[in-house]
Amino acid sequence: MENSVYTIINNGILVNIYLTPGAHKSCITGIVNIDNKTYLRVSVNSKPIENKANLELISVISDYFNIPKSNIEIKRGSKSKYKQIYLNNYDVNKLNNILNKSI
């Protein structure tokens, strides 16, 4: 699945995230297009206070894609609902398989 929700760079993948903090359930809810840009939509229960929503985002991504938290970094948007996260040493085929099966 070729998808503009991500870009392959260096040894990993840069993923566009649209984060919804303060949700009832923490999960990945799908792919959304906003202003001609594609995002992986993620909801987290935590409020965006003291970096709690970002930490929960990393946890949700870690569980969903089965990648260690230490291999996930927020590259852009740490104080925004629009983010880019970097999945270090992650295989694009694995990412595509997970996205194809669940979204």
Residue 67, C-beta contacts closer than 8 angstroms, at least 6 positions apart? 61, 87, 90
Integer distance in angstroms from the first to the last C-alpha of the chain? 11
Q: What is the pLDDT of residue 4?
A: 83
Q: What is the pLDDT of residue 2?
A: 45
41 close to 32: Cβ distance less than 8 angstroms: yes
The pTM of the full predicted model, rounded to 2 decimals, is 0.92
86 close to 70: Cβ distance less than 8 angstroms: no
Q: What is the pLDDT of residue 88?
A: 97
Mean pLDDT, contiguous 10-residue spans, the chain (103 residues): 78 96 96 94 96 98 97 97 97 92 78
Q: Rounded CA gap, 81 and 100, in Å?
A: 24
Ordered structural domains, the chain, with CATH? 6-102 (3.30.1200.10)
Pull the structure tokens for residue 82: 């629009």
